[in-house]
């Protein structure tokens, strides 16, 4: 049963990444945190993120614009270590709860109202968004959420959105993988589980991309909003349970 849950989580997580381009970790953690140590769970998510994001970038390479992406990636590279450095000064649990509330409000609001007027921004704004995305990733491990919201507000097409936030998420995953390796999280047991789940993760991503091809821009927007709402609820739930 444990093996079935693990492999099932890999497939569904991969499918989620294939359809939306993010939130794979949300699906995998919801199951694997009950059967694996937290450090190993984090290492597996980061390792699989490198594969899923790389595949997504390759599939959407026609929409990739490095001039568009580079300010976000540079900002994130600066923000991530800054966020990690602030871990001793800021309570990550409180921050997760605050971010969770904002995501729930944004996701629910976006799902019930018509499409908003797109915002217009330049490179300084892109850099700032990248910085705060990296900062939040360094503090909480939630790399990519701020950029996903930003892409929604820009009202880009679904391919352009994914061609922006997937490279940013990939860079964050590589940074996290290096940090986990330095911390000794990449053990032989972790590598064994990684290789065991990789075919199921790959099959899920492949299936998810087939579903993604059937979505128009409006449907993709709803999928992202629903996943952001679910992410927010997941962040709030631990605080509510502890409060009880």
Residue 203 has pLDDT above 90, yes or no: yes
Q: How far apart are CA 38 and CA 49, in angstroms?
A: 16
Q: What is the pLDDT of residue 229?
A: 86
- Tokens of residue 101, six digits: 């509330």
Rounded to whole angstroms, the Cα distance separating 123 from 39 reads 36
Give domain limits for the chain.
2-243
For residue 205, give the nearest of 5, 60, 36 by alpha carbon: 60
* pLDDT recorded at residue 239: 62
Cα 107 to Cα 121: distance, rounded to the nearest angstrom: 22
Check residues 230 and 202 and name the one with the higher pLDDT.
Answer: 202
Residue % of the chain over a pLDDT of 90? 20
Q: How many CB atoms lie within 10 A of CB 244?
A: 4
- What's residue 242's pLDDT? 57
Number of neighbouring beta carbons within 10 Å of residue 194: 18
pLDDT of residue 194: 93
User: What is the C-alpha separation between 45 and 207, in angstroms, rounded?
Assistant: 19
Q: With contact defined as beta carbons under 8 Å apart, do 49 and 25 qualify? A: yes
Instruction: Please determine, for residue 26, whether its predicted confidence score (pLDDT) is greater than 90.
Output: no
Most confident of 24-33, 143-152, 169-178, 212-221: 212-221
């Amino acid at each position: 049963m444990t093996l079935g849950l693990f492999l099932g989580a890999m497939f569904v997580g991969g499918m989620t990444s294939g359809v939306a381009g993010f939130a794979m970790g949300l699906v995998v953690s919801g199951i694997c945190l009950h059967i694996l140590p937290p450090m190993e769970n984090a290492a597996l998510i980061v390792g699989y993120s490198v594969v899923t994001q790389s595949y997504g970038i390759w599939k959407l390479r026609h929409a990739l614009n490095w001039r568009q992406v580079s300010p976000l990636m540079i900002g994130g590279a600066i923000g991530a270590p800054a966020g990690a450095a602030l871990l001793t000064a800021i309570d990550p649990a409180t921050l997760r709860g605050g971010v969770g509330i904002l995501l729930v409000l944004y996701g629910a609001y976006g799902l019930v109202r018509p499409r908003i007027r797109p915002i217009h921004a330049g490179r300084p704004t892109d850099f700032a968004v990248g910085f705060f995305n990296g900062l939040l990733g360094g503090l909480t491990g939630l790399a990519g959420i701020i950029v996903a919201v930003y892409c929604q507000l820009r009202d880009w097409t679904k391919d352009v959105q994914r061609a922006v936030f997937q490279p940013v998420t990939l860079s964050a995953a590589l940074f996290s993988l290096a940090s986990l390796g330095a911390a000794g999280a990449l053990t032989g047991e972790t590598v064994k589980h990684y290789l065991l789940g990789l075919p199921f993760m790959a099959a899920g991503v492949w299936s998810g991309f087939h579903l993604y091809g059937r979505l128009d821009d409006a449907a993709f927007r709803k999928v992202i909003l629903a996943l952001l709402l679910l992410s927010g609820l997941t962040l709030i739930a631990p605080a509510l349970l502890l409060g009880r």
